[in-house]
């Protein structure tokens, strides 16, 4: 049996099933661990900050305000991980 070698992000952050937050290309937080079947949400709050949740529990709130238009990027560094049911819901009032 081989040993597990964690994958690393282009910015040098390595982990095993971790949620990393980058804002405008800059590392912001190692927010949480995730497991198979977990639900990860990224929400824009009423005050235009962003909350990151795992299974409904807030794991990180950005101190920066959102700049529109929003751009979302998802990267997975574990070949055994799959993503399903990805939604973008826009409800920003005018």
List own/partner pairs for 43-47 with CB under 8 A and 24 or more apart: 44/70, 44/92
- 19: closest CA among 46, 55, 70? 55
Per-residue pLDDT of the chain (94 residues; tens, 9 = 90+): 433 344 455 555 566 677 888 888 788 888 888 888 888 888 888 888 989 898 999 999 998 888 888 877 777 766 777 778 877 776 655 5
Q: Hey, how many other C-beta atoms are within 10 angstroms of the C-beta on 20?
A: 19
Instruction: Look up the pTM and report it.
Output: 0.72
């Amino acid at each position: 049996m081989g040993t597990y070698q964690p994958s690393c992000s282009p910015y040098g952050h390595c982990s095993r099933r971790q949620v990393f937050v980058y804002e405008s290309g800059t590392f912001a937080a190692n927010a949480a661990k995730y497991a198979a079947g977990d639900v990860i949400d990224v929400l824009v709050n009423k005050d235009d900050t962003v909350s990151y949740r795992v299974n409904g529990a807030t794991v990180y709130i950005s101190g920066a305000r959102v700049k529109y238009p929003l751009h979302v990027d998802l990267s997975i560094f574990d070949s055994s991980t799959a993503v399903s049911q990805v939604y973008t819901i826009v409800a920003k009032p005018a």
